[in-house]
């Protein structure tokens, strides 16, 4: 009975806003027997314009909440910027497993045939040493265009992922990559998964667009299996409790538009 209670604890997931919904939605489909708790730190949005120390402090508060209020068995950092700045910091402070979203530099470089790839990320991720080290390690003899995308995550957060404004911004951002013949685009923000369609429209069907949704889902499944904490529930549809750190009708409306009825309501928390 104690073992069953332990393995049936929920999985925590957090991001600065709606971006991580792309991750939790995929996890819920792959793991229907699990329960999830999603925290949107939208009071602190955007993470990509904060310092590493600020993001570490925010992330630590969220993890404390997930443990104290929901006794989660695993935390998924559904944000590239928070993963890059905070996952090592959090692992030193908490004994539970963490799964992060790593910039998809390695698979992008492995797939390119033109020897040119474009890596799209937030300004903080783009300027950080972590992504630069990935490019140096896996991008040898490859033209890796490290493209910062200020404002793109904000537009997704406002529900404008399929707007002309986003399409215009993407055209400006990826023009150098198009001119240099990039054939693989790596989306290194979970928000950017929601602009895959307009980006594909701009770059053409012959270009490969990668994000971290499938790798993260597989990693979570592996961690649960290795730790023998896969839920024993026989339910067929995963449940998810949603929290936000600031009152925002926009967050709930955009979230419901992006992932549908999975998001029934959003509770406000102070962090």
Domain boundaries 105-211, corresponding CATH code: 3.40.50.1860
Question: What's residue 39's pLDDT?
Answer: 97
- Domain ranges across the chain: 2-101+214-268, 105-211
Q: Each residue of 163-203: pLDDT tens digit?
A: 999 999 999 999 999 999 999 999 999 999 999 999 999 99
Torsion of the alpha carbons at 17, 18, 20 and 25, rounded to the nearest 10:
150
pTM of the model: 0.90
Cβ–Cβ < 8 Å for 99, 223: yes
What 53-60 contacts at long range (C-beta under 8 Å, 24+ apart), as own/partner pairs, is 55/81, 55/82, 55/85, 55/86, 56/85, 56/86, 56/89, 56/90, 58/82, 58/271, 59/14, 59/86, 59/89, 59/90, 60/86, 60/89, 60/90, 60/93
Q: Each residue of 1-31: pLDDT tens digit?
A: 445 567 899 999 999 899 999 999 999 999 9
Q: Domain 2-101+214-268 has what CATH class?
A: alpha beta
* For residues 134-143, average pLDDT: 95
Same fold, 2-101+214-268 and 105-211: yes
Q: Is the pLDDT of residue 131 over 70?
A: yes
């Amino acid at each position: 009975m104690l073992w069953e209670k332990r393995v049936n604890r929920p999985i925590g997931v957090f991001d600065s806003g709606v971006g991580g919904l792309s991750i939790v939605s995929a996890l819920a489909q792959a793991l229907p027997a699990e329960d999830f708790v999603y925290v949107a730190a939208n009071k602190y949005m955007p993470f990509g314009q904060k310092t590493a120390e600020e993001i570490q402090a925010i992330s630590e508060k969220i993890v404390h909440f997930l443990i104290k209020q929901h006794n989660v068995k695993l935390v998924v950092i559904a944000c590239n910027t928070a993963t890059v700045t905070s996952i090592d910091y959090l692992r030193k402070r908490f004994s539970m497993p963490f799964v992060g979203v790593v910039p998809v530099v390695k698979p992008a470089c492995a797939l390119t045939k033109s020897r040119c790839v474009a890596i799209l990320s937030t300004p903080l991720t783009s300027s950080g040493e972590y992504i630069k080290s990935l490019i140096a390690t896996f991008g040898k003899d490859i033209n890796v265009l490290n493209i910062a995308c200020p404002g793109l995550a904000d537009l997704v957060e406002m529900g404008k992922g399929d707007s002309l404004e986003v399409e215009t911004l993407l055209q400006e951002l990826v023009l150098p990559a198009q001119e240099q013949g990039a054939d693989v685009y790596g989306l290194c923000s979970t928000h950017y998964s929601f602009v895959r369609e307009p980006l594909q429209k701009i770059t053409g069907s012959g270009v490969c667009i990668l994000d971290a949704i499938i790798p993260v889902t597989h990693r979570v499944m592996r961690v649960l299996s290795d730790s023998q904490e896969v839920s024993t529930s026989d339910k067929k549809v995963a449940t998810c409790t949603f929290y936000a750190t600031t009152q925002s009708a926009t967050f709930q409306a955009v979230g419901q538009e992006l992932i549908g009825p999975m998001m029934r309501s959003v509770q406000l928390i102070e962090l």
